[in-house]
Amino acid sequence: MWAPDKCTALPPKMDSRYTSTAGIGDLKQLSAAIPATRVEVSVSCRNLLDRDTFSKSDPICVLYVQGMGSKEWREFGRTEVIDNTLNPDFVRKFILDYFFEERENLRFDLYDVDSKSPNLSKHDFLGQVFCTLGEIVGSQGSRLEKPIVGIPGKKCGTIILTAEELNCCRDAVLMQFCANKLDKKDFFGKSDPFLVFYRSNEDGSFTICHKTEVVKHTLNPVWQAFKISVRALCNGDHDRTIKIEVYDWDRDGSHDFIGEFTTSYRELSRGQSQFNVYEVVNPKKKGKKKKYTNSGTVTLLSFLVETEVSFLDYIKGGTQINFTVAIDFTASNGNPAQPTSLHYMNPYQLNAYGMALKAVGEIVQDYDSDKMFPALGFGAKLPPDGRISHEFALNGNPQNPYCDGIEGVMEAYYRSLKSVQLYGPTNFAPVINHVARYASSIKDGSQYFVLLIVTDGVISDMAQTKESIVNASKLPMSIIIVGVGPAEFDAMVELDGDDVRVSSRGRYAERDIVQFVPFRDYIDRSGNHILSMARLAKDVLAEIPEQFLSYMRAHGIKPSPAPPPYTPPTHVLQTQI
């Protein structure tokens, strides 16, 4: 929210002009407009290249998605690193939105990790695979096997990609297991056991879904309790087979198989009882030895179901979402009188900022019941005296910077273009700090603040901006940065903090609060046509619900109960005779 410079707190009770509330009906409207299925993609590899001299490779898989318009590859996420193996089954999955009508190009790059550096160029490249999400989903059993390529003259192995549509089960389970009298596998000393959990697939194969920690030097381990979503464990199907394998950990990655057993969510949900003591069986040993009974037992110690609250639960309970728009008016955007400028005042069509504002604004507007947005500009010289401002009201009224809907923001933006002089430097910190001042005054979960910055990505105050983001990460706020124009957006990707958490002077952000979206990924080559409004909507809002929930969880704030649905009074009909 924007207000005069001296003001640092919101009035305790705000009138409707000062609030932007996410209405439940609006959210339903928004999701109805986005026809996508959520798909979980699992990654396994076989016979990877061995790049380590004295041990096996330590692989990681990095997923890239391709922008529809720009065709640029952008990192989507990374699996965990698995030490000493050429046949990894990665536990960490990729959850993607599947749009049936769109071609979604994916690239899976594999690396042998040699250090703790997040910079991929510091690690050995093991090859890559290109495919589409449709190819994975459309393969038999939604299981796609492809050769890994990318290193001339070398056989790089195979990747196995499995997709499963996610159901909307919101339960999570807290479980704890122990074991007794496991087989001794180490020549010197006892075993170092760990458990691996798999859920069954329709074709009889299994998908890894959890690994416990290793408990050293014992045949009677007690593993730490762990939390797993019911979706990950069985995708909401309570009778689906769950297979649990028991291994003895070895430093070189050749973990010794102790045995296995199967169960289901329904069986586990009985909790600690005689039904949840399982014999660990090694089929090879059983086939060879007549007197073999088992390789030990595993016992379920506790089973607790928790229902995860959703973003929608808070909105239903009355939490208000306050959107603020901030627009970059710096000289790096080019002279608005010139057609090459991102702020070009074209009488016949929207300029780059106008297009991005309209498209993204119409998406966020769906979250907002009164459609009143505080709208700011930064980096311009203001009339009449030419002072430089890094937070000015687009409508010229610092006491009431609210614009009526995105159309009102657009009008104020074009009006400002005619009166201010594009200047600089490009400082993000003042507008972030401004919204943070309001967010810091209401931390009880009744309000959440979202700052939408539209910029060409050329930033002058990177250190101060990082400091502002680290400070704001403790507050109920998120920042969406929409990049317009053809510039390199490396600085914006760094602020996004998906791979490396933003830090300032040795302090790390408590949570990721920045979402960066390059607008050019969604427009055609002419720059005048949006290729997929649905995908733009998904990507702009992708991280807000989780960022919102991470704040509420960290501060122990539960959603307020939703008010009862309105029932109109019943009128007794009197029949005239």
Strand partners, 481: 453, 516
CA nearest 166: which of 205, 209, 214? 209
Distance CA 397, CA 399 (A): 5
Each residue's pLDDT expressed in tens, for the chain with a length of 577 residues: 333 333 333 333 333 322 333 333 333 333 444 446 789 999 999 999 988 777 889 999 999 999 888 788 999 999 999 999 999 999 999 999 887 767 889 999 999 998 988 899 999 999 999 999 989 988 888 889 999 999 999 999 999 999 988 877 788 999 999 999 999 876 677 899 999 999 998 888 899 999 999 999 999 999 999 999 999 999 889 999 999 999 999 988 889 999 999 999 999 999 988 889 999 999 999 888 888 999 999 999 999 998 888 887 887 788 888 889 999 999 999 999 999 999 998 888 888 898 888 888 887 777 666 788 899 999 999 999 999 999 999 999 999 999 998 999 999 999 999 999 999 999 999 999 999 998 999 999 988 999 999 999 889 999 999 999 999 999 999 999 999 988 889 999 899 887 788 999 999 999 999 999 999 888 887 777 888 777 887 788 888 888 999 999 999 999 988 777 655 666 555 545 4
Q: Is 306 helix (H, G, I), strand (E, B) or coil?
A: strand
Query: SS3 for 144-206, per residue?
Result: EEEECECCCCCCCCEEEEEEEECCCCCEEEEEEEEEECCCCCCCCCCCCEEEEEEEECCCCCE
* DSSP state letters, 259-293: EEEEEEHHHHTT-SSGGGEEE-B-HHHHHH-TT--
Contacts of 267 (CB under 8 A, 6+ apart): 275, 276
Where in the chain is CATH 2.60.40.150? 36-165, 171-307
Q: What angle do CA 466, 468, 473 make, to 5 degrees?
A: 95
Q: What's the pLDDT at 24?
A: 31
Q: Which CATH architecture has domain 171-307?
A: Sandwich (2.60)
Q: What's the pLDDT at 577?
A: 43
Radius of gyration of the chain (CA): 28
Q: What's the pLDDT at 67?
A: 84
Q: What's the pLDDT at 6?
A: 30
Q: What's the pLDDT at 98?
A: 85
Q: Which two tokens stand for residue 72?
A: 């640029």
Contacts of 97 (CB under 8 A, 6+ apart): 36, 37, 38, 39, 535, 538
Torsion of CA 502, 309, 540, 90, to 10 degrees: 70
Q: Which CATH architecture has domain 16-22+319-554?
A: 3-Layer(aba) Sandwich (3.40)
Distance CA 473, CA 507 (A): 11
Tokens 């969406």: give the residue: 480
Q: What's the pLDDT at 157?
A: 96
Where in the chain is CATH 3.40.50.410? 16-22+319-554
Q: What's the pLDDT at 374?
A: 92
Task: Confirm or reject CATH 2.60.40.150 for domain 36-165, answering yes or no.
Answer: yes
CA nearest 88: which of 46, 41, 122, 129? 46
